[in-house]
Amino acid sequence: MKLQARPFFDAAGIPNDLAPIAVEPSPMLPGDWRSLRPVVDRGKCVKCAVCWLYCPVQCVIEKARWFDFDLATCKGCGICAAECPQRAIAMVEEAA
Ligand code: SF4
Ligand code: SF4
11-49: per-residue pLDDT in tens?
A: 888 777 766 666 677 788 888 889 999 999 999 999 999
Q: Name the residue among 90, 82, 77 with its Cα closest to residue 34.
A: 77
H-helix or E-strand spanning residue 82: helix 79-83
Expressed in angstroms and rounded, the spacing between residue 66 Cα and the centre of ligand 1 is 7
Q: Name the residue among 59, 57, 49, 58 with its Cα closest to residue 83.
A: 49
User: Does ligand 1 come within 6 angstroms of the Cβ of 40?
Assistant: yes
Expressed in angstroms and rounded, the spacing between residue 10 Cα and the centre of ligand 2 is 39
Q: Is the pTM of this model over 0.85?
A: no
User: Does ligand 1 come within 6 angstroms of the Cβ of 59?
Assistant: no
CA distance 84 to 91: 12
Expressed in angstroms and rounded, the spacing between residue 45 Cα and the centre of ligand 2 is 16
